[in-house]
Amino acid sequence: MKRILTTLLTPLYAALLSLAAGPAHAALNVLACEPEWAALATELGGDLVKASSATTAQQDPHRIEARPSLIARARNADLVLCTGLELEAGWLPVLLRQSGNAKVAPGQPGFMELGLLVERLDVPARVDRADGDVHAAGNPHIQLDPRNIARLVQPLAARLATLDPANAAQYQARAQDFAARWSAALQRWGQQGAPLKNVAVVEHHKNMAYLLNWLGMRSLGTLEPKPGVEPSAAHLNQLLARLQQQPARMVLYAGYQDAAPSRWLAEHARIPAVELPFTVGGNAQAKDLFSLFDDTLARLLAAAGGGK
């Protein structure tokens, strides 16, 4: 009888001990504005964070609606992690205001703009809306230079530790591990991308600047006559005429952009049109930050080789 009672009471005793020990640590809830930052938060936080993105790779991050479901996610967030530099200016302020979550208000530890932490390109000397969607703080598409990712590792790890000090050592350890793997990848990508130096391209929108700057490639123009203004037939014909005098090797566009203008110019200029993943999840190959750049380089190198 004593053995039977012991058998029955052991699971109950274990359960009581579990309750006495307190609830399991809840993961930090990270709402990233773009997929690349959700991926970086996951790399540095692992199981300590629950990271999701407000946008997908198939959406233009400039133009997002602050839907009720997204507002609810912001309401429950411990950290809102965004590019900033006015990239989300059309929807993020509304999202934060309607969430009512004081923890993630600008200026609080629960809000972080990563674009402020890197060297910015294309900072205009003046801002005139007649020039299109010009960003006063500079080009916001910082994620396409992997050196920028390296610069953001320690600041983000420190912010996670501030929000979750009990696990600060784990965030730091994961940051060191990621930084070492990223440094090795940077060296490899630098060697692989060497043949792309001075290769001339045309962009759909001026969102490839950091990628081109990293690889030493040159942009001869954009399909958009002004930033945010859709390509017109007249502008495409002008661009085609210019390419007859100064040839490009390829036309670049992101998966969320209309492929038709790029394909039209590519066909008439007899150069490849290259769809780049642009961010994590941009295609089946770009599953994380490492494969994002692996796939981007593979596509650029294939187009450069085929366009000779």
pLDDT digits (tens, 9 = 90+) for 233-244: 999 999 999 999
Other Cβ atoms less than 10 A from the Cβ of 215: the count is: 24
Q: What is the pLDDT of residue 22?
A: 36
Phi, psi of 95 (to 5 degrees): -60, -45
28-189 homologous superfamily: Nitrogenase molybdenum iron protein domain (3.40.50.1980)
- In the chain, which residues have pLDDT < 50? 1-24, 306-308
- What digits encode the pLDDT tens for the residues 62-76? 889 899 999 999 999
Q: What is the pLDDT of residue 150?
A: 98
Give the Cα separation of 76 and 100 in Å (integer).
Answer: 10
The distance of Cα 259 from the centroid of its chain, to the nearest Å, equals 21
Phi-psi sector, 120: left (phi>0), alpha (psi -120 to 50), beta: beta
Residue with tokens 């997002």: 64
> Where exactly are the structural domains of the chain?
28-189, 193-306
* CATH of region 193-306: 3.40.50.1980
Q: What is the pLDDT of residue 25?
A: 54
Report the chain's C-alpha Rg in angstroms. Answer: 23
Give the Cα separation of 46 and 174 in Å (integer).
Answer: 8
Phi-psi sector, 46: left (phi>0), alpha (psi -120 to 50), beta: left
- What digits encode the pLDDT tens for the residues 211-223? 999 999 999 999 9
Other Cβ atoms less than 10 A from the Cβ of 246: the count is: 10
Task: Say yes or no: do domains 28-189 and 193-306 share a fold.
Answer: yes
Residue 167 near residue 183, CB atoms below 8 Å: no
Give the Cα separation of 173 and 179 in Å (integer).
Answer: 10
* pTM listed for this prediction: 0.88
Q: Which residues contact 203 (CB under 8 A, 6 or more apart)?
A: 219, 221, 222, 223, 251, 252, 253
E strands within 94-223?
111-113, 200-203, 218-222
Give the Cα separation of 299 and 116 in Å (integer).
Answer: 30
| Helix or strand run (H / E) with residue 29 | strand 28-32
The distance of Cα 212 from the centroid of its chain, to the nearest Å, equals 16
H runs (alpha helix) in 247-288: 260-269
For Cα atoms 287, 293, 298, give the angle at the middle one, nearest 5 degrees: 105
Phi-psi sector, 221: left (phi>0), alpha (psi -120 to 50), beta: left
Q: Which residues contact 249 (CB under 8 A, 6 or more apart)?
A: 199, 200, 201, 271, 272, 303, 304, 307
